[in-house]
Amino acid sequence: MSETSVASGQFGQYPPAQRTIIHLSDTHLLAENVALGGRYDTEANLRRTMERVVELGLTPDALVFTGDLTDLGEPDAYERLRTVVEPVAAEWGCPIVWVAGNHDERPALREGLLGLDPTEAPVIGEWDLGGLRLIALDSSVPGWHHGDLDDAQLEWLRARLTEPAPLGTILALHHPPLPSHVPLFDILELQHQERLAEVIAGSDVRAILAGHLHYSTSGTFAGVPVSVAAATCYTMDIGRPALSVNGMDAGQSFHLVHVYDNTITHSVVPVAGAADGDYFTPEWYERMSRLTRAERLEVFSRKPDKSGSENA
C-alpha cells in the first residue's frame, strides 16, 4: 500500500470514490412555513437535514433533490427552499439538481428555482460531473399524482445516451420504477415503465435515483440499480402492517452516493445523529495510518481471544 493511500485513509482494497453525490428527496416546503398537515415543520426538518449534510465534512460533486420540492407549488415555498439550500451548495461550488415531483408546479419551479420562463414544459437537464453524466427527468404529470414520461423526453434521453460518458450515466427522477408493497401506492407509480426500460437498455446508465415513497428502498429496473431516498419532511412507518402504514415525524434520512470504477454505493444517512463514540477517534485513525496493512490486520481484524482481551 502506498503512502498516498495510507494518508487518504484507505485501509482496504478499493481506492477512493471517483465522484460523490448527496441525494435528498421530498422536502414538501410550504409558503410562510406553515406546518404540513398541521403536524410537520418541513422547513425546520430541511434545515436540520442540511446541517447534517454539512457535518459530513466532504465536498460533493452535486446535490440532487428528487422531487416534491414543495407541497403546493407556491412561489414563496420555492424561494424558501433556495434560501436553505443554495448557501450550502455555494460554499462547495457544486450544482443543485432540482427534480420535479407530483406536488410541484412546473411554472413556479421553473421560474423560482431555475430562472426560466414559467411554462408547463418538463423540467429536464444534464450535468457533466467530471465525466459522470447526470440526467434529470420530469416524471410529473400536471394535475395528477401518478408519474409518466412523455415521448419528447424519452426521445431526448435516447439521443443523449447514444454516446457513452467516461464514467457512465446516472438518471434522477421522482417516481421510482419499482413496485411498492404499500396498498394503493400502485396508483401513484410511474406509468408505462416499459418505454423507459427500452430506452436505457444497453446504455451506460449505471444507477437511477428517485424519491416519492417517503421511505428508503432499492431494487433493479431493466438491470439497472434503483435507489429511493426517504423524505426530509416526514417518512412512512413501514414497520406497521401494510394496511396501516402511516406518516411519522421521524426517521428522516438522505443518501450518500459514491461512484467507483465498477460499482455505485448508496448509503442511508440518518438526520438524527448519535452521540460521538469513543473508539474510532482521530487519534485512532492517526495511529492506524502509520501501520502497514499486515500490522493493521493484526491489530484490528483479529477477533478477541476467549478471555475477552484484545489480540493486539
Poorest-pLDDT segment among 58-62, 86-90, 271-275: 271-275
Q: How confident is the model at residue 4 (pLDDT cuts 50, 70, 90)?
A: very low
Contacts of 155 (CB under 8 A, 6+ apart): none
**Are the C-beta atoms of 42 and 27 separated by less than 8 Å?**
yes
Between 11 and 179, whose confidence is greater?
Answer: 179
Those residues whose C-beta lies under 8 Å from the C-beta of residue 42, and which sit 6 or more positions away, are 27, 28, 29, 30, 35, 36, 71, 232, 233, 234
Look up residue 311 and give its three cell numbers. 489480540
pTM exceeds cut of 0.85: yes
Q: Where in the chain does DSSP place strands (E)? A: 19-24, 62-66, 96-99, 125-129, 132-136, 169-172, 205-210, 217-221, 224-228, 235-236, 247-248, 253-259, 264-270
- pLDDT for position 311: 42
Average pLDDT over residues 114-126: 97
Inter-residue contact 201 to 222 (CB < 8 Å): yes
What is the pLDDT, as a whole number, of residue 159?
98
* Residue of 98, 69, 114, 119 lying closest to 232 (CA atoms): 69
Place of cell 394535475: 143
pLDDT for residue 5 is more than 50: no
Side chain identity at residue 60, one-letter code: P
| pLDDT for the residue 184 | 83
Alpha-carbon distances of 164 from 17, 265, 273, rounded to whole Å: 20, 21, 39
200-242 residue pLDDT tens:
999 999 999 999 999 999 999 999 999 999 999 999 999 999 8
* % of the chain beyond a pLDDT of 90: 77
Four-residue CA torsion sign, 90, 91, 94, 99: negative
pLDDT band at 312 (very low <50, low <70, confident <90, very high): very low
100, 138 contact by CB (below 8 A): yes
